[in-house]
Structure 1
């Protein structure tokens, strides 16, 4: 993971670039998978998020195909 930061770059922009890079490489997802204890609610939220994404995509596809 590498982010190039210039001396005249605002710190907010540098942090945003770092955050995007970490998300792109799946750092947070990897850390979540390595946790010792995962509550049941986290699994429920993960399933809900996946199905909501599918639902949004299907709805968008239906709108495009009209």
Structure 2
């Protein structure tokens, strides 16, 4: 464990960022599963509505550095 105040602060910040990244990854995986399920079952209308939402979520995840480009 860190001893310096700045190192302790960085530790707290990294833990907070890890939780946020984990939450964003979970949202992205869930959205991808929903889209794939809609495509697999042949529900074109559902897939058309889920596609822009999924692209938006992917773009935001890349922008925030949660996933690689």
TM-score bracket relative to the smaller structure: 0.3 to 0.5
Return the TM-score normalized by structure 1: 0.42
Larger helix share, 1 or 2? 2
Bigger relative contact order, structure 1 or 2 (CA pairs below 8 A, ≥6 apart): 2
Q: TM-score, normalised by structure 2?
A: 0.41
